[in-house]
Amino acid sequence: MREYILEVRNISKRRGGKVILDNVSFSVRRGEVFVILGPPGSGKTTLLKIIAGLEAQDLGDIVINGEVVNTFPPYMRNVAMVFETLALYTNMTVFENIASPLIAIKKDREYIEKRVREIASLLRIEQILDRRADKLSGGERQRVAIARALAKEADIYLLDEPFLNLDAKIRYALRTEFKKLKSIVGKTIILSTSDPHDALALGDRVLLVNNGRVIQEGVPVNIYKAPKSISIARYLTGNMVNEIFVARDSKGEITSNIGRDIYIDPRVLDTIVKFGRSSLILTNYIDSCIIDRHIVECDGVKIRGSFLGYEFRGSEYLVYARKEDFVFKSLSRKLASDLNIGDEVDVCLTRDGMLFFDGETGDFLG
């Protein structure tokens, strides 16, 4: 058995003069959950449709199970797809929707009955089989769309933004269901999403795209710990990162965008010098940042700022502090008592957990 069930080679596509996909290449292993992550409009849907054969690429090849399938029509490519819009047949019942791919290949009545019920119970929608597809809740419709794709018995499942517009709670539940389903069903799943949480939580491997180009590829934890550029770090966390810009002049003096009121631990200074760039961005995720009235020991970078506000999340607090135009965020279990907006606080970005990026290019250094 081949290791890679799908190979995407140098796919490019233009539409009306605009570049939709630019030289996209990647491979997907059999049985893995492969997530394509990118902001809306980055070409994810087009990429999936090209893999499915619903749209044609300008350049490049799609290889499924070792065969070049560029000329194959959709139903011969051994893929099933769940569309972002779900595309349920609203004039038919749930049963008829799920049965559709089986009807198309002319399976007999008995087989269809059995298979549809099997899949429906897997997704826990047996009780709505007789309902019309336009009379379902959002979560139910999602599951029917997935059921229809499962009924097709393809080797590759393409899901286009399957969690879009879902309530946070349902999204969470569906994600976990998904991961469990994957091991039961044993199929290869390619998912597109614009929510970094989906990618980090679900993906065995993640492909980051933007403006039709591949930006980074890898295992979630590794992308998180070593994002190729600072914009990736910002995107993955929804801008929940703390950044400090430092510059080194010709004399070797270090200045920062925060001003002079900053303490930098000697070991951090050494690292800055080691990288030898003229400017750097020091970045910490919110769990490696501490905000408190007074922080005595800080082994990274310490700043004095003012309290901006907080969020209470039930089990933890997200604390915001500001210095000049810059906002710092810290995740912690406790909140210093009686803090008012404008009170002076210390912000400490710990050394362990600090990422260094080039100040000009934004490239990852270490």
- Given the rule CB under 8 A, which residues bind another protein? 49, 52, 54, 73-75, 79-81, 83-91, 100-101, 103-105, 134, 148, 152, 167-169, 172, 175-176, 179-180, 196-197, 200-202, 220-221, 224, 236-240, 285-287, 308-316, 320, 327, 331, 341
Cα–Cα distances (Å) from 201 to 20, 27, 60, 337, in that order, read 27, 20, 31, 34
Q: How far is the CB of 274 from another protein (least distance, A)?
A: 25
Other beta carbons less than 10 A from residue 253's beta carbon? 8
Among candidate residues 60, 145, 358, 18, the one with its CA nearest the CA of residue 68: 60
Q: How far is the CB of 334 from another protein (least distance, A)?
A: 13
Among candidate residues 306, 313, 312, 311, the one with its CA nearest the CA of residue 341: 306
Q: How far is the CB of 131 from another protein (least distance, A)?
A: 15
Q: How far is the CB of 7 from another protein (least distance, A)?
A: 20
State which residue, 249 or 311, has the beta carbon closest to another protein. Answer: 311
Q: How far is the CB of 314 from another protein (least distance, A)?
A: 4
Q: How far is the CB of 151 from another protein (least distance, A)?
A: 9
| DSSP string across 210-224 | ETTEEEEEE-HHHHH
Residues 6+ apart with CB under 8 A from 147: 94, 97, 98, 119, 120, 122, 123, 125
Q: How far apart are CA 257 and CA 210, in angstroms?
A: 29
Q: How far is the CB of 100 from another protein (least distance, A)?
A: 5
Cβ atoms of residues 165 and 138 within 8 Å = yes
State which residue, 153 or 261, has the beta carbon closest to another protein. Answer: 153
State which residue, 64 or 86, has the beta carbon closest to another protein. Answer: 86
Strands 289-292 and 279-285: unpaired
Residues 6+ apart with CB under 8 A from 234: 241
State which residue, 182 or 277, has the beta carbon closest to another protein. Answer: 182
Q: How far is the CB of 165 from another protein (least distance, A)?
A: 10
State which residue, 165 or 278, has the beta carbon closest to another protein. Answer: 165
Among candidate residues 172, 171, 72, 180, the one with its CA nearest the CA of residue 123: 180
Backbone phi and psi for residue 86, each to the nearest 5 degrees, phi listed first: 70, -40
State which residue, 52 or 264, has the beta carbon closest to another protein. Answer: 52
Backbone phi and psi for residue 193, each to the nearest 5 degrees, phi listed first: -155, 160
Q: Put the strands of the sheet holding 67-68 in their side by side order.
A: 18-29, 4-15, 59-64, 67-68
Only one residue has tokens 């008829």, namely 96
State which residue, 85 or 278, has the beta carbon closest to another protein. Answer: 85
Residues 120-157 as b or e (16 or more Cβ within 10 Å = b) = bebbebeebbeebbeebeebbbbbbbbbbbbbbebbbb
State which residue, 240 or 247, has the beta carbon closest to another protein. Answer: 240
Q: How far is the CB of 102 from another protein (least distance, A)?
A: 9
State which residue, 23 or 93, has the beta carbon closest to another protein. Answer: 93
